[in-house]
Amino acid sequence: MQFRIVTILLFMAGFLVSCSESDNTSPTMSTGEDDTVNPLVTSAEVSNASENPFFNPSPLYFNYPQFDLIRNEHYLPAFERGIAEQLIEIEAIAEQDAAPTFENTILAMELSGQLLQRVSSVFYSLAGAHTNDDIQALQQELAPRMAAHDDSIVLNPLLFDRINTIYETRSELAPESARLVEKYYVDFVRAGAALNPGQQERMRELNAQIALQRTLFSQNVLSEVNDLAIVVDSREELTGLDDTAIGAAAEEAQSRDLPGKFVIPLLNTSGQPALAKLQNRALRERILQTSLSRGSRGGAFDNREAISTILRLRAERAQLLGYDNHAQYVLEDETAGSVAAVNQRLAELAPPAVANARREATDLQAQLEDSGGDFNLAAWDWDFYAEKLGVERFEFDDAQLRPYFELDNVLTNGLFFAAEQLYGISFQERTDLPVYQEDVRVFEVFDAVGTTLALFLGDYYARSSKRGGAWMNAYLSQNDLLNTQPVVANHLNITEPPEGQPTLLSFGEVTTLFHEFGHALHGMFSNVDYPYFSGTRVPRDFVEYPSQVNEMWATWPEVLENYAVHYQTGEPMPTELLQKVLSARQFNQGFATTEYLAASLLDQSFHQLTPEQVPAADEIIQFEATALEAAGIALPEVPPRYRSTYFSHIMGGYAAGYYSYIWSEVLDADTVEWFKENGGLLRENGDHFRQTLLSRGGSEDAMALFRRFRGRDARIEPLLERRGLN
């Protein structure tokens, strides 16, 4: 998750929050003695530094954000002042008389824009985690303005000349400093610094338009997923759901002024959890068809025009920079290195995945018929009959597991316990620090020697103000230059139970909890010199690797036995049930791999187009069908995990990068083998992983870090075995 140089915007796990730049009239700061008043602020209520919590670093512990003081009207003045301050700082760097040096140019840029970073980190985090109408309106206003601000820096010819001069003599610097110079140079070139003035002007226009369209896309996804929640008239239609799920549906309906009815909110993926339980086939079909229709139904939330526009503008921008298409531009800077490498990996995995999915479909059709069904298996039937078949084969179902996975217990005795055993860290909940929503929890994280390592926020429940999915973000990142320590957050979308009832997780939610905490550990263990390299600021197809590794501890016997206890009786999960859970891990992997690969192939198909090849809005859905058919992965029973019209990953930061989950999983599966070979959950193993890889962020080449940890290049065989593709 590598940040653009200037604005240091937040990547979250699987998602880069859309933001970027200022308008064409560069703001200026007052030169008077009273610098607490920003003359740019004309529409906001707050302009005095003593009233705006962003104007100065937070006085709270670790500079933790002052959520209790932050109001909507604080954002715009802080953005405008932050932009103005950074422009002055950058101008001073670019126009100084002194000869270019690492200290007066590169380090000075790393130190610039601190106010802008403070407000950006909070604003874009809450735009995903707890948005409102004011934030969404400001997002649209800021998108082109922030894009223009970024361009005003990366397209500054005097600044680029200084960077180029330092780049030519970088061999004289220490390794991490030399790498920082290289990254700045490459980023500026890839942003258009070497283009002529006319091309740079077009680059500015493209960036502003893309930023605005991405913001509109993401807001449409959130608005429509709330708007299209499934309304059910009677409890009988919900047969199959447990009482907790039905109670939550009733409460959701009550909150929408629909007394006596039930509402099932949609999640961001194509598939929906209720499909595995609902006996009512017509309702299952309605849920899935509604989910698949998002963004393509016409009306205010239709995303097809935005997709077509974004794809065309990205392709034009790539060609302006000398690339054939956007995918080539993106992949050049990833560990994959090329379009050919990604296409080859996906092409290798698709046939065995589809073959597995077809075998699974045959088994499910037989299960369907044995259950008395006289119809052909459809996409909305898959989860329901897979659940039945799983129960038959492994003699357990999700309902038997949930009582053993109470959220607080999983968190304390599972997630934190594994980290304590592996890395020697410990956790203490803080109730004295403010939060932006009452369900959010804050923990102080202590290193093995007792010093504070980080602050960690857990935001686990779904709500209408929160985007779908799960992700990690950093409010502050570790680096020695600014002497800052990490303040990181995890976000999930667990359905909150009715008041007074426990939060019982599915096994999938437990795995997601461990996955996102892997991102958090990557951020918390950072030990680098410069902000650019901190924590999870690594190539897109490497960033998922540490988080996927952390999933292994969810099913590691010593960890699972410690947290898998019945929430009422305290009795441990029976050994035979535990073994069934472990033995079922390859079940339905054909479906899971196929739906993921289908989405990855769609991402590549869209982003390997030239501007002239990009389909028009009314051709988007047909293009998807044709692309999947051509890739040999078009199974009507297995829709892609995301369709393009609600595929926020690829309209955001994972453009041409959704393949990275499977790319990272090759490293992950091989790393799991290393832990098994070396004794598993041992402190020396955790210390080795932390010291050689997790702590280094982006300060060294990603694959060099892996080789230092593993002692060799990764092998694909452990992944093939894990997913049943061998």
Amino acid at 552: M
Amino acid at 699: S
CA angle centred on 504, ends 462 and 234, rounded to 5°: 70
Instruction: Return the SS3 of 415.
Output: helix
| End-to-end CA, the chain | 31
Q: List the one residue out of 42, 52, 48 whose CA is nearest residue 75.
A: 52
Q: For residue 706, what are the contacts with CB-CB under 8 A and spacing of at least 6?
A: 545, 667, 693, 713, 714
Alpha carbon separation from 21 to 1, 187, 495, 600, 708 (Å, rounded): 20, 17, 36, 29, 39
CA angle centred on 192, ends 191 and 194, rounded to 5°: 135
DSSP label at 696? G
Name the active-site residue from 21, 509, 516, 595.
Answer: 516
CA dihedral of 203, 204, 208, 213, whole degrees rounded to 10: -10
Task: Please give the Cα distance from 543 to 536 (Å, whole number).
Answer: 6
Phi, psi for 445 (deg, rounded to 5) = -110, 125
Task: Please give the Cα distance from 139 to 223 (Å, whole number).
Answer: 14
Task: Please give the Cα distance from 444 to 459 (Å, whole number).
Answer: 15
| Token pair of 292 as six digits | 């698949």
Phi, psi for 476 (deg, rounded to 5) = -140, 145
> Catalytic annotation on 205?
no
**String of b and e for 574-586 (b: at least 16 CB within 10 Å)?**
eeebbebbeeeee
CA angle centred on 265, ends 259 and 267, rounded to 5°: 175
DSSP label at 565? B
Q: List the one residue out of 82, 78, 77, 83 whose CA is nearest residue 22.
A: 83
Alpha carbon separation from 674 to 108, 302, 468, 660, 671 (Å, rounded): 41, 47, 34, 21, 5
Catalytic machinery residues: 516
